[in-house]
Amino acid sequence: MIFVLPDTNDLSNPAKFQIHHLSIPIYILYLIFRNRQMMRTLNILMLILITLASCGTDPNSIASDTTSIAGEEEENSEITFQKYLKTLDQISLPLSHNPLGQLPELSKNYDKRGFEKYKHVWTIQPLGILYNDGKTVTLVDCSIGDRGPVPFLTTYDKQGNKIDSLGPYRKSGEDMGYSAIEYLTINKDKTILVSDSVTTYTIKPDGSDIDEKTKKVTTGLTKYIIDRDGRFKKSD
């Protein structure tokens, strides 16, 4: 395509126009650049944009950095026993349970770092606060047994130092010639009752099966108390 362009040596003289073979983009650029006033304006705008870009800060970046710093401070902060207790629910008493039943769903928003620091060994999550007097605190954590969730009780002093612990189910389970289940009741007066029913059979001499004629069923009751020092004691 052919365009008629003015001679750049004398833009005011139409007689000195020259003919060039130019592409459309070049011609458009020529029309822009010939206006020197426009060029000065564009230069000023460009300087302003560069200055703003170099000095400005993305608000989203500031918010992200602030959130990150707050998260790091929270992770690095010390988890105290009292802070952990604030994330646990109080357990309503009396509490009844057996290995075939379910425990109440409590302490869903517990502090995971606090649990890892203060949990009973082998447990997977806390149930909540059982007792909290002026001297000791009793917590219940949950483990997974052969038949369902199993509670473990642990006592602490006010600083979170462990005093004593109790796994209330000592007999529950099944095997060849043996079957037992226990029933737990925890009362407000810090007494813990565990009743049991145990069924046993004699194994046949060849070990192939049980002898149904030898079935024996026994029942029992074990009572625990928590003394003033936070220790579990068997009581008659």
Same domain? For 48 and 154 the reply is: no
Paired with 192 in beta bridges are 186, 224
Question: Does the residue 67 lie in any domain?
Answer: no
Same domain? For 52 and 85 the reply is: no
Res 236: pLDDT: 80
Instruction: Give the separation between CA 65 and CA 220, rounded to whole angstroms.
Output: 62
Same domain? For 173 and 210 the reply is: yes
Same domain? For 102 and 25 the reply is: no
Res 4: pLDDT: 45
- Would you write out the chain's pLDDT as a tens digit for each of its 236 residues? 444 444 444 444 444 444 444 454 444 444 555 555 566 666 676 666 666 666 555 555 545 555 554 454 555 578 999 999 999 999 999 999 999 999 999 999 999 999 999 999 999 999 999 999 989 999 999 999 887 899 999 999 999 999 999 999 999 999 999 999 999 999 999 999 999 999 999 999 999 999 999 999 999 999 999 999 999 999 98
Same domain? For 94 and 172 the reply is: yes
Same domain? For 130 and 221 the reply is: yes
- The answer to whether 89 and 107 have CB atoms below 8 angstroms apart is yes
Question: Does the residue 63 lie in any domain?
Answer: no
Question: Does the residue 185 lie in any domain?
Answer: yes
Q: pTM (2 decimals)?
A: 0.68
Res 117: pLDDT: 97
Same domain? For 198 and 100 the reply is: yes
Question: Does the residue 172 lie in any domain?
Answer: yes
Question: Does the residue 44 lie in any domain?
Answer: yes
- The answer to whether 96 and 184 have CB atoms below 8 angstroms apart is yes
Question: Does the residue 28 lie in any domain?
Answer: yes
Same domain? For 153 and 229 the reply is: yes
Question: Does the residue 75 lie in any domain?
Answer: no
Same domain? For 125 and 16 the reply is: no
- The answer to whether 160 and 138 have CB atoms below 8 angstroms apart is no
Give residues with Cβ within 8 angstroms of 103, minimum separation 6: 97, 127, 142, 149, 151
Q: How many domains would you assign to the chain?
A: 2
Instruction: Give the separation between CA 131 and CA 106, rounded to whole angstroms.
Output: 15
Res 14: pLDDT: 47
Same domain? For 112 and 200 the reply is: yes
Domain of 155 in residue numbering reads as: 81-235
Element at 188 (helix H, strand E)? none
Same domain? For 41 and 111 the reply is: no
Same domain? For 35 and 124 the reply is: no
Question: Does the residue 66 lie in any domain?
Answer: no
Instruction: Give the separation between CA 188 and CA 129, rounded to whole angstroms.
Output: 12
Res 145: pLDDT: 86
Paired with 131 in beta bridges are 138
